[in-house]
Amino acid sequence: MRHRVLSTRGELPGDGLARLGSEVELVRWTGAGRPQPAELAELATGVSAILALGNDSVDAELLAAAGPSLRVVGLASMGFDAVDRRAAAERGVVVTHTPGVLAETTADLAFSLVLMARRRLGAALDRLHAGQWDVFRMHDDLGLDVFGATLGLVGYGQIGRAVARRAAGFGMRVLHHDPLAPEDDNLSWAVDFGTLLAESDIVSLHVPLTESTRGLIGADELRAMKPTATVVNTSRGGVVDEAALLAALRDGVIHSAGLDVFEREPRGADVADLVEQSRLVALPHVGSATEATRAAMVDLAVDNILAVLSGRPARTPLPGTAAVPGAAEVAR
């Protein structure tokens, strides 16, 4: 009897979903927008695996609806905060994600936001599109230099290091703070968090969303930065207190910001006050959005699912969790 696998989306980039469907009985959620756990629960009964995007909620109720047959949740995502990892561990369910394949693409996007926010290119584009470029003025669209600036990386994993490599080409001094990477290397100097905030011209965030990182950048941290500082977030929206960031931009506490992620996603008119700030560049979570990278993410998620269902270890289980079903322990 073939395994049944639930995909939280009806279509995904590349041919990974078709490859999965050739090996299992594939059940797809085909609604519009973001699926809700209750909607997925109706499809989940008796499935052996769930293929989900990183912002699709895989909560305890959905895991329970799948029942004892569930062996693996394969995320087509680097982030994993939408999964109830404790509930998965209690059920012996392996949770996997997709590190590595999106690091370079996301680093490209992070550095794009550095350039756009620092140089105020978003405001310049808005002025051009509004037909307001009527005369050349020396004082219009003045930003701050990126070349030779100090870049502070909060989190120094694969993406952080990829950003540091790009910074080398801009002659930047690079600092990083990461308890798991407490030493200097040939790209960056390790410093404490307070030093990084105080000395960096650009603070770029590359940490997962956990209880310890939620609201990591709030009003106090923003005030600890230079008034000429730029904040860039391509990790998870909850790492930054959006209300504090909005106030800091309005009051000139910092120079500018670039966001690819938000506290709640997707977002509509409720985020207008923030994204309409002239010193903010905002994008709709497109850090990994290239054809090749998104397809590779799906491929890796499918590889993980098929490995576990065939009794082999997952290629990329979440750190601190088991790679095979029945032995998972929640990451601490």
Catalytic: which of 23, 90, 199, 265?
Answer: 265
Phi-psi region of 148 (alpha: psi -120 to 50; beta: other; left: phi over 0): left
* 161: Cα separation from own chain's centroid: 15
Task: Dump the DSSP string for 293-320.
Answer: HHHHHHHHHHHHHHHHHTTPPPSSBPTT
Q: Which helix (H) or strand (E) holds 174?
A: strand 173-177
Q: Give the number of other CB atoms < 10 A from CB of residue 190.
A: 17
CA–CA separation, 161 vs 214, rounded Å? 22
CA–CA separation, 48 vs 103, rounded Å? 29
What does each C-alpha distance from 83 to 95, 191, 198 come to in angstroms?
8, 32, 34
In one-letter notation, the amino acid at residue 298 is V
Catalytic: which of 3, 119, 176, 236?
Answer: 236
For residue 122 the two structure tokens come to: 């978003």
223 is catalytic: no
Contact 100, 121 (CB under 8 A): no
CA–CA separation, 112 vs 117, rounded Å? 8
Residue 162 burial (10 A CB sphere; 0-12, 13-18, 19+): buried
265 is catalytic: yes
236 is catalytic: yes
Catalytic: which of 118, 119, 285, 294?
Answer: 285
- Beta-bridge partners for 232: 204, 258
Instruction: Provide the annotated active-site residues.
Output: 236, 265, 285
